[in-house]
Structure 1
Amino acid sequence: MNTEWSLDVLYKGYDDPAYQQDLVNLDTLINKLHTFAENVGKNSDKDTVLEYIALTEEFSLLVTKLYSYTELRESTDTTNSETTSYLNRIQSKISATSKDSAKIDKYVANLSNLDDIVASDESLKEYTFFFNELKDRASHTLSDDVEEVIAKLNLSAGSAWSSLQQYLTSTVEVDYNGEKTTLSGIRNLAYSKDKEVRKAAYEAEIACYDKIKDAVSFSLNNIKSQVNTIAELRGYESPLAMTLKQASMSRETLDAMLTAMREYMPKFHEYLKRKATILGYKNGLPWYELFAPLGENHVEYTTESAKEYLLKHFRNFADDLADMVEDAFDNSWIDFFPRKGKVGGAFCANLPFIKQSRVLTNFDGAFGDVVTLAHELGHAYHGLQIQGHRPLNLDYSMPVAETASTFNENVIMDAAIHEANGTDKLVLIENQLQDTTQIICDIYSRFLFESAVFERRKNEFLFSDDLEKIMLDAQKQAFGDSLEEDTLHPYMWINKGHYYSESLSFYNFPYAFGGLFARGLYTMYQQEGKDFVPKYRALLKATTVSSVEDVAKMAGIDTTKPDFWRQSLQSYANEIDEFLALTK
């Protein structure tokens, strides 16, 4: 089994003739797009729409292939100057189409007979949701010239600031025990069974941020300022309103979920306080003990044993999921281990146009790393369900993006807990509560932080000291008095790449949505058994062609009312009660 992924199915390198030819093909397509834009409206409305779809599909597939390959290369080696050069080159080419794309999109979206044209052609009916979204976006699209300027300036603005944050956090050297390590490596030590290691790693992590905090604060300030400006220009009430529109999700759904989360946070505080008591702390749990194991971790996983564990439990749920997981391990879909230059954390990149995905982790052998693999392979399973869609129906929105991944976590954790006894069972329950507390309390703190940064950035520049205070305030609101105040984490805004996308804001609440939505779906699976699986697949497939609310309705769920969210949270509250009873 290879421990680094292979991208050869896309290209064998930058000197691959196919890569170089596709760069030429991209120029050809850009010229075709320009010609189409100049002549749009000269043919019949239906012919215009059909040509628009054909050209947009071709352009989307080519750009996705080129960009995916280059960006995946960058994620495993942010220091490669050739990769950076090609990524900038592709971004520049794409930005050059913004004026033409805006002109064409607006023309098609404003056709008075567009709905009739779509309804009259079988090949267009599949794009009904796409065209509805296109019409909505058109109402927020600026003039062709302004769209072009925004796209071109972004290359040296938001996109560049994002690359800076990624570069700094992936290359900063952490001084630990007289040696140098990476930020990803030091953060993995938060799971160590040795209290002194956890504390020392936390202190080393905090200290390393002094080297990069000022530069990263400039990245965050300028990205958020840019998003504020664009949201205002496009006529949105706020960046959050723009994000919700992009996510095909209503504010009613977000408010209902946050209402339920706030109601249940005291229950999670009970769990954290009990953990603090078990570990011998009197004034709340120190931040560096959030992931402290409450028992001996008897099993250390290799990549092979992780594969066997996942296959064993996913096979019980669905054969197609287990088969896909086996493919991922055997056919070099996964890049496992941390190394200098590789980005931290974990992610999955769906490549439905080749019916595959790629998964990046920073594997360290703990059971939590197996759960992380399950999570990311859930994204890959989501990709498996949507790969039959047409090219412009392959993007699912942020909130539903975490559904399959978190569902996978439930499958693995539920199986592990049921197989365990005594202390082992307690440890697994606590592991699940660790993760759930992250998607409830920590995610809420991130939402509060980003909301405050967007609001304050309208009128002031936020230096590192300011950002640290905002983060600490958000953590206090989310965690209450359950954490030791002197050891909160003022720099959590530095290492989370989610804050640093100029095109995707508030990538925090989707984790809470995914966690609670998946929990509700998993409860249905427990009640319905195998009969639920086809419904689940259909629901995942619909995520790219339906609103969040309509996807939920397929399972009989109303996301705009707190009741569903309360039911999911109550299941976790019951687990906390079991934990409290076991540790009484």
Structure 2
Amino acid sequence: MDEVKKLPTRNEVPEDLKWDLTTIYKNDDEFEKDFAECKKDIQKMEQMDNEIPHNAQQLLNIIKQIETLQRKADKLSVYASLNNDADTSNVKYQSMDARCSDLYSHADQATAWFEPAILQMNHDELNQMMDANEELNNYRHYFDEVFSHKPHILDAEHEKMLSSLSSIFETPSNVYGIMTDSDLKFPVVKDEKGQSMELSGGVYSKLLESTNREVRKNAFQKLYTVYKQFKNTFASTLSGEVKVHNYEAKMRNYDSAKQAALSENNIDESVYQTLIDTVNKYLPLLHRYVKLRKKLLSLDELHMYDLYTPLFGKSPISYDFSSAKKEAIKALSVLGDDYVSHIKEEFDNHWIDVVENKGKRGGAYSSGVYDTNPYILLNWQDNLDNLYTLVHESGHSMHSYYTNHNQPFQYGSYSIFLAEIASTTNENILTDYLLKNTDDVEVKKYVLNYFLDGFKGTIFRQTQFAEFEDFAHQQEQNGNPLNSKMLSDYYHELNKKYYGDDVVSDPEIAYEWARIPHFYMDYYVYQYATGFAAAIDLSEGICSKDDNALENYLTYLKSGSSDFPLNVIKRAGVDMTKSDYLEKAFQVFEQRLNELEKLI
């Protein structure tokens, strides 16, 4: 009988492949000490008079106290969440993460009065205070943002009430996370070498790239057997999440959850709709590409599990983590010596948690706050896709690094809308590097195929998700309760529209919505698509060494939240209020599709 290949436990992972969280707190005792101090700070904040500030110095003093509290709460939360994500089965860190969630909620409650108090001030008088006080003037954009949301900020009592409910509102997402990361039990499958292994998120992704069709078909069918089994549970958690979004939007006097979510970044709803309209306009390009895939794979029927395997067999290039780091540095060198020096810092100082282990949160992300390193979570597999993931998450981390080292705390973060541009610019730079640095036709064909698949997965697929997410919110808002049949039926039809007649929309794909964690992140997914399209524009300018392209890009990375997102990216050269950047992205897709057809 074959020996089943099992994931290592957390303790079995080599230290050099783990992130070093001692730069946040040396140990858990130090965390507990800071946690206790933060609780005292919250109590002091709760005892404040909550009065409208009468002069510049009083206002500045309050801001400083709130910032001190926020920085402590941020640091505590990131330490707890990173430890928990490294092993979600560890009860100690589950508890620590939950305690920090409650602490954060209490901190929000204690400070919830402040912005309503600001909005009771006369805006002109506030401007005069800033004109007279240089340090307070550094908060001008912050106050502009506060006043831009004035119609949707409630009085202090109701703000405090909403803040007190935040941990309850997180329940659907938390239940979903525990289900998918810890409680779901996936069957054993075989890889193309006949090796038995436990199916997991990371293993599934790798098996779908297998050149053995039976391997990917078996992985596909067995994975969705599990999600289908729990379809009603997942429909309940997603329904709960959508209800939370719609309830909060209604409470804050928004027309919809979409309007509420986009307004957080001052993004007009037209940006969302323009994306969907433009992508639907270019669906024939996707249909053309999948038809080519069907032809090159010599298949009578192209199934959903055939969409990720390379068109030209096994990849002619593969990377273990060590070689991937070296290749990433070469590719990103076009961004300049300073940028590369910080990439090396990330690689050399244990900012990355590399391998998949039992209980580890799936997927990949970059996470950190103003007073910590920008850490990266990976679930490494030796393939080209994971090299792209490494440069993608490094794009996020470098965005954080440059922002935190060039902006004060109040602007030391950035919107998700801008974040996905930084990460996918790195991806496009890597594609350009790989195509330019090989004469091997097989490598070029593979990379072109990879780019087209990446475009498909980022712009077409994420826009498909955006349509589904908007549908779910609209249905619930209109009084139509969400259930597994409604969600699955709609998703299945949407899938047919996107991929066209040359792809069999297998019945299992109807349950794909159940395994997408980003549906619990409140209108998040569309930003992958808009970000990737903008990144194509930016990366072409950088790789072509256009005048000021690199300087403008680095300025964008350093800007943080010092201006509204659309203004920040416009200064980098992309106007995202228009469809031009999307049209340009589809032109590049078509050009590279043409190039692939010529090489074939």
Partner residue, 1:500:
520
Partner residue, 1:424:
443
Contact 1:351–1:358, Cα closer than 8 Å, also in 2: no
Change in 2 beyond 3 A, CA 1:120/1:571: farther
Query: Is 1:181 the equivalent of 2:199?
Result: yes
User: Following superposition of structure 1 onto structure 2, how do residues 177-576 of structure 1 map, counting pairs within 5 Å?
Assistant: 177=189, 180-283=198-301, 285-295=302-312, 296-354=314-372, 356-387=373-404, 388-420=406-438, 421-458=440-477, 459-486=479-506, 489-501=509-521, 505-529=522-546, 531-576=548-593
Where 1:513 maps in the other structure, the secondary structure is helix
Task: Compute the displacement of 1:543 (Å).
Answer: 4.2
Query: Is 1:88 the equivalent of 2:98?
Result: yes
Contact 2:66–2:111, Cα closer than 8 Å, also in 1: no
Partner residue, 1:118:
130
Partner residue, 2:71:
61
Partner residue, 2:118:
108
Query: Is 1:140 the equivalent of 2:145?
Result: no
**Any idea what the Cα deviations from partners look like across 1:251-306, whole Å, max 9, x if unmatched?**
233333333322222112211110111112344x3111121012232333211111
**Any idea what the Cα deviations from partners look like across 1:149-170, whole Å, max 9, x if unmatched?**
33333323x3122111111111
Change in 2 beyond 3 A, CA 1:473/1:124: farther
Query: Is 1:6 the equivalent of 2:30?
Result: no
Supply the distance in 2 between the matched residues of 1:444 and 1:161 (Cα, whole angstroms): 23
Moved more, 408-417 or 297-306: 297-306
Supply the distance in 2 between the matched residues of 1:342 and 1:179 (Cα, whole angstroms): 17
Letter in 2 for 1:499: F
Letter in 1 for 2:388: V
Where 1:359 maps in the other structure, the secondary structure is strand
In structure 1, runs of 5+ residues without a counterpart are none
Contact 1:170–1:344, Cα closer than 8 Å, also in 2: yes
Letter in 2 for 1:167: I
Contact 1:231–1:237, Cα closer than 8 Å, also in 2: yes
Supply the distance in 2 between the matched residues of 1:547 and 1:258 (Cα, whole angstroms): 23
Where 2:152 maps in the other structure, the secondary structure is coil
Letter in 1 for 2:289: Y
Task: Compute the displacement of 1:472 (Å).
Answer: 1.4
Contact 1:219–1:500, Cα closer than 8 Å, also in 2: no
Contact 1:110–1:135, Cα closer than 8 Å, also in 2: no
**Any idea what the Cα deviations from partners look like across 1:338-375, whole Å, max 9, x if unmatched?**
22211111111133323x21111111100111011010
Equivalent of 1:24, from 30, 36, 58? Answer: 36
Task: Compute the displacement of 1:110 (Å).
Answer: 2.7
Letter in 2 for 1:170: D
Task: Compute the displacement of 1:39 (Å).
Answer: 4.6
Letter in 1 for 2:329: L
Percent of matched pairs sharing the same residue: 24
Task: Compute the displacement of 1:73 (Å).
Answer: 1.2
Change in 2 beyond 3 A, CA 1:481/1:55: farther
Partner residue, 2:193:
none
Where 1:427 maps in the other structure, the secondary structure is helix
- Normalised TM-score (structure 2): 0.91
Moved more, 572-581 or 450-459: 572-581
Supply the distance in 2 between the matched residues of 1:198 and 1:436 (Cα, whole angstroms): 21
Equivalent of 1:165, from 167, 176, 185? Answer: 176
Supply the distance in 2 between the matched residues of 1:341 and 1:551 (Cα, whole angstroms): 39
Query: Is 1:40 the equivalent of 2:54?
Result: no
Letter in 2 for 1:372: T
Supply the distance in 2 between the matched residues of 1:246 and 1:207 (Cα, whole angstroms): 38
Contact 1:499–1:506, Cα closer than 8 Å, also in 2: yes
Where 2:23 maps in the other structure, the secondary structure is coil
Contact 1:95–1:148, Cα closer than 8 Å, also in 2: no
Supply the distance in 1 between the matched residues of 2:317 and 2:43 (Cα, whole angstroms): 57
Letter in 1 for 2:176: Q
Task: Compute the displacement of 1:455 (Å).
Answer: 1.3
Contact 1:231–1:239, Cα closer than 8 Å, also in 2: yes
Moved more, 474-483 or 337-346: 474-483
Supply the distance in 2 between the matched residues of 1:122 and 1:170 (Cα, whole angstroms): 49
Query: Is 1:74 the equivalent of 2:84?
Result: yes
Task: Compute the displacement of 1:384 (Å).
Answer: 1.6
Letter in 1 for 2:493: D
In structure 2, runs of 5+ residues without a counterpart are 1-14, 190-195
Task: Compute the displacement of 1:553 (Å).
Answer: 2.4
Supply the distance in 2 between the matched residues of 1:320 and 1:258 (Cα, whole angstroms): 37
Contact 1:140–1:235, Cα closer than 8 Å, also in 2: yes
Aligned-residue Cα RMSD (Å) equals 2.0
Change in 2 beyond 3 A, CA 1:319/1:488: farther
Where 1:491 maps in the other structure, the secondary structure is helix
Task: Compute the displacement of 1:222 (Å).
Answer: 0.7
Contact 2:141–2:562, Cα closer than 8 Å, also in 1: yes
**Any idea what the Cα deviations from partners look like across 1:212-253, whole Å, max 9, x if unmatched?**
333222111111111111101100011110111112212233
Contact 2:429–2:543, Cα closer than 8 Å, also in 1: no
Letter in 1 for 2:369: L
Where 2:376 maps in the other structure, the secondary structure is strand
Moved more, 296-305 or 268-277: 296-305
Supply the distance in 1 between the matched residues of 2:541 and 2:377 (Cα, whole angstroms): 30
Contact 2:334–2:543, Cα closer than 8 Å, also in 1: no
Moved more, 244-253 or 170-179: 170-179
Contact 1:379–1:401, Cα closer than 8 Å, also in 2: yes
